[in-house]
Amino acid sequence: MITPTRYWYLRHGETDWNRQGLSQGRTDIPLNETGLEQARKAGGLLAQEALGDLRISRIVSSPLARALRTAEVAADALKERYGVRPVLTMDVGLEEVCFGEQEGCPMGEWYDDWVEGLYTPPGAEPFAFLRDRAVAALNRALTEQGTVLIVAHGALFRALRSAMHLPANVRLPNAIPLVAEPPEVAGTPWNLKLFA
């Protein structure tokens, strides 16, 4: 169960493998030029929107290069706005899912079955394991005071959606910040607000 606390979430910017429709998983693919520009735009949106109760005091990122670079760009934009850079840390629990033998291959019909828990590619992490890992990492980030920005990955957010009582298999675009608000009644869907 996710600690009922508001948080920001940002998926990393585009990589060449995103553009080609390939499964990245743990393969550490860097942002491409489009991804860097998306990260800058997301940082600008955060600097504009993350004010008052939504002000970001900390950023917790996946250690994979595409997420960490996106987090660094966002932190720099927030520093310009706030006058101080939010503390940026990494949590290995926020790494993208391991897709096993599917990494580097085109996304296919197997993906829907994986999200539903009906199939796991050889060498891959089952969706239920990803969900447990993602919730644990998010809860670690939510233990400290202040509003946190999580910078991570698409499949990881699908797992968090599942834990937030939302349809899991919904694609989160690259580098579009969102705020996740807990429900008033436990066990009901969280509210998500995207800033594009």
Q: What amino acid positions are annotated as catalytic residues?
A: 12, 96
Q: Give the position of tokens 């829907």.
A: 112
What are the angstrom distances between the C-alpha of 106 and each of 21, 132, 137, 174?
Answer: 6, 26, 28, 18
The H-or-E segment that residue 143 falls in is: none
- Cβ–Cβ under 8 Å, residues 15 and 66: yes
- Burial class from Cβ neighbours inside 10 Å (0-12, 13-18, 19+) for residue 42 reads buried
